[in-house]
Structure 1
Amino acid sequence: MVAYSFKAMFAPQVSALTKRQTVRADRKRHARPGEAVQLFQGMRTRHCVKLVNPDPICIRVRPIAIVTTWLLEEFIASIVIDGRPLHRDEIEAFAVADGFAVEHVGDCRMKQIGRAGSARWNMGAFWNAEHGEGLFDGQLIEWEPA
């Protein structure tokens, strides 16, 4: 069984199972399809909380590449999942599915003032802040309720 930890801004969405995916850097072992995943907030801290019971089941793991740049207004230059580049509208839908819709980020520092509704902007700002500008290669892990 594989465990994933989420920032507090994503915890309500993960708990409500409206966020059913996560993008992670490559590591020795990710969840495999058919395997249960444990989802936490604050893992390895005394404030650790398990977000979903029973454990959801991994349904798919695919390679993902995200390119961000400060030169674009919405920061995200491209997203490629399993070798297929996403269209502009698909990037917005992906950002919503990944938890970056404006109504979900609340008072998060990534919320853009004056551009309500741009999940792509929120995701791009988050990725630039967390991972820096440029190419991110990793895995898209998706799950469904048990």
Structure 2
Amino acid sequence: MVAYGFKAMFGPQVSGLIKRHTVRADRKRHARPSEPVQLYQGLRTRNCVKLVDPDPVCVRVRPIAILTTLLLEEFIASIVISGRSLHRDEIEAFATADGFGIEHVGDWRWKRIGREGSARWNMGAFWEAEHGAGLFEGQLIEWEPA
């Protein structure tokens, strides 16, 4: 069984099973299809909270590449999942499904910069702040309720 930790801003979406995937850097072992995943907020802290019980089940793991640049207002130049580039509308939908929907803009410290209301912009600002501009390669882990 594999555990994944989430920032507080994603907690309600994960626990409500609205957010059903996560993007993670490559590591020794990620969840495998049909394996339960444990989802936490504040993992490895005394404020750790399990977000979903019973544990959801991993249904798919796919390679993902996210290219961010400071030259674009929306930061995200491209997202490629399993070798397929997402179209502009698909990037917006992916960013919304990943927890960056417009209803959560108020949770952002970057909300005063750029285009409020764009999940793509919110995701891009988050990725640029967390990972810096450039290419991120990792895994897209998807789950369904048990």
Give the TM-score category using the shorter length: over 0.9
1:99-110 aligned at under 5 Å gives the runs: 99-110=99-110
1:39-118 aligned at under 5 Å gives the runs: 39-112=39-112, 115-118=115-118
Q: Report if aligned partners of 2:73, 2:114 keep a CA contact under 8 Å in 1.
A: no
What is the letter of the counterpart of residue 133 of structure 1? A
What is the letter of the counterpart of residue 22 of structure 2? T
In the TM superposition, residue 114 of structure 1 has moved relative to its aligned partner by: 7.1
What is the letter of the counterpart of residue 70 of structure 1? L
Q: What do residues 86-122 of structure 1 show as CA deviations (whole Å, max 9, x unaligned)?
A: 0000000000000000103433213356734200000
Runs of 4 or more consecutive aligned structure 1 residues displaced over 6 Å after TM superposition: none
Structure 1 unaligned regions, length at least 5: none
What secondary structure is seen at the aligned counterpart in 2 of 1:99? helix
What secondary structure is seen at the aligned counterpart in 2 of 1:103? helix
RMSD over aligned Cα atoms: 1.2
- Rounded to whole Å, the distance in 2 between the matches of 1:46 and 1:34 is 30
Q: Which residue of 1 aligns with 2:123?
A: 123
Q: Report if aligned partners of 2:114, 2:121 keep a CA contact under 8 Å in 1.
A: no
Percent identical across equivalent pairs?
Answer: 82
Q: What do residues 56-93 of structure 1 show as CA deviations (whole Å, max 9, x unaligned)?
A: 00000000000000000000000000000000000000
Q: Which residue of 2 aligns with 1:138?
A: 138
TM-score w.r.t. structure 1 length? 0.96
- Rounded to whole Å, the distance in 2 between the matches of 1:76 and 1:112 is 18
